[in-house]
Structure 1
Amino acid sequence: MSNFKLYGTLGCHLCEEAESWLKHFFPWASYMYVDIACDEKLVESFGLRIPVLSNGIDDVNWPFDIQQVHRLFLEQAAIEPQKTTTLSSEAPLPSRRVLLPRTEK
């Protein structure tokens, strides 16, 4: 799953939020963070859309939702079936429990 790239740039609060979101909902996923400021072509392509998650075939702009990211993983699995695990259209979406601090009364 290393073909996934998260395009962003330093100091972008939305990029930081997107990275936290990915780590929360897809902790098993691996991706490469690409700073678009290092390449003028990337700035032209993604400058107004960052953060952008890409699998090399399709892109998803922020704010992502679980179904969009799951679809990217499924597309990648269709390309590299020998390298993927059990990602299928029938695989359950990952779920995470969020614990909030208890407020005292």
Structure 2
Amino acid sequence: MNNNRFRLYHTDGCHLCELAQALIEQALLEGAQVSYQLIDICDQQTLADKYGTSIPVFSDGQRDLNWPFDLEQLQQFIGSSV
């Protein structure tokens, strides 16, 4: 796995977040060499303020990929971040 640490900002019970996570898992199955962690925005008020109306958001720490995104957009985002 690449050293890049991606994050998926989400919250429990978010159907769109589940769709985004499924796309990330699909990208990994198709050979994307990255690791990511799930970050629940409800755990930190600053994250809730920042992402509360835009989750799911996939981030590389510098840039955010906001929903909606598809597999191709996700793969391009990952590829441009490594």
User: In the TM superposition, what is the alpha-carbon distance from 1:63 to its structure 2 partner?
Assistant: 1.8
More strand by share: 2
SS in 2 for 1:53: strand
RMSD: 1.6
- Structure with the greater relative contact order (CA < 8 A, sep ≥ 6): 1 or 2? 2
Aligned-residue identity in percent: 38
Segments of 5+ residues of structure 1 without an aligned counterpart are 78-105
- Answering whether residue 44 of structure 2 is matched by residue 39 of structure 1, we say yes
Moved over 6 A (4+): none
What is the rounded CA distance, in whole Å, between the counterparts of 2:22 and 2:43 in structure 1?
Answer: 22
SS in 2 for 1:70: helix
- Answering whether residue 77 of structure 2 is matched by residue 75 of structure 1, we say no
- Answering whether residue 68 of structure 2 is matched by residue 63 of structure 1, we say yes
TM-score by length of 2: 0.80
**Match in the other structure for 1:16:** 18
- Answering whether residue 54 of structure 2 is matched by residue 49 of structure 1, we say yes
What is the rounded CA distance, in whole Å, between the counterparts of 1:73 and 1:21 in structure 2?
Answer: 12
User: In the TM superposition, what is the alpha-carbon distance from 1:18 to its structure 2 partner?
Assistant: 0.9
Contact 2:10–2:39 at 8 Å: present in 1 too? yes
Would you say how many aligned residue pairs link Structure 1 and Structure 2? 77
Segments of 5+ residues of structure 2 without an aligned counterpart are none
What is the rounded CA distance, in whole Å, between the counterparts of 1:65 and 1:10 in structure 2?
Answer: 21
